[in-house]
A = this chain, B = another copy of it.
Amino acid sequence: MNSNNKAVVLLSGGIDSSTTLAVARKGGFELYALTIRYGQRHKIEIEAAGKIARALQVMRHEIVDINLSIFGGSALTSDIDVPKKRFNDSSDDIPVTYVPARNTIMLSMALGWAESIGARHIFIGVNAVDYSGYPDCRPDFIAAFEKLANLATRAGVEGHLFKIEAPLIDMTKAEIISLGTSLGLDYSLTHSCYDPLPEGFACGICDSCIIRRRGFVEAGIPDPAKYPAGVEKPDE
């Protein structure tokens, strides 16, 4: 089995994973997109992942359900209210939207699929700059997972080493948006909001919307997402 140019790319449908898919495509990889549906409350992000996968002409797009809601402990998988903040709030705490072991679980699934199709490259859109509060977005975590992957698998044992690629890990959101735009990525297909409104509107005030909006402002690129009239603007 030719394993040289296949890449499994974790794709949530948000800015980071979509940009990562565009980076992998630019790198000449045959793309296998993996979307993990983990009991989150909104399906819009999954639909966004499908649109992005089609737009970037992936070879396969698989959606795997995992019910992480049994874990509780996160606003994304349980009934805790998603926190709202003003545009310029900032915090270094680990946010309530943290999902226990989420990236470990997603990379594990990607590893299983990668081994079964003979892919050696696994791409994940983690970002240590804008998500400094998430322990599983740091370079040390990625390095530890890569080491694990090569101990955990038949392929690794046989010397066909896995490489965990996190091309965005040191980039700001603005840099990510600039990169994706330069690669021709259509960010109107992406979805970021933790708490979306009807008719395709994003709330504009959840953590994820705030990070997205700041990023577009800093990149000097218009955000194609739809926000309700009256949502606080960056310069107000």
Contacts and interface: CB of A to CB of B under 8 A. Distances in A.
Most chain-B Cβ atoms within 10 A of its Cβ — which of A68, A108, A154?
A108
A129 interface: no
Given A105-B105, A152-B136, A154-B135, A116 B144 contact: no
A115 interface: yes
Interface size class of A (residues with CB under 8 A): 35 or more
Given A71-B115, A71-B116, 7 more contacts: A94-B154, A99-B112, A100-B112, A101-B153, A135-B153, A140-B151, A141-B148
Closest 5 CB pairs of A and B: A101-B112, A73-B116, A100-B115, A71-B116, A100-B112
Interface of A: 62, 64-68, 70-74, 94, 98-105, 107-109, 111-113, 115-116, 135-136, 138, 140-141, 144-145, 147-149, 151-154, 156-157
23 contacts: A65-B65, A65-B66, A66-B66, A68-B112, A71-B112, A71-B116, A73-B115, A73-B116, A94-B157, A98-B154, A99-B112, A100-B112, A101-B149, A102-B112, A104-B149, A104-B152, A107-B108, A135-B156, A136-B153, A138-B151, A140-B151, A141-B151, A144-B144
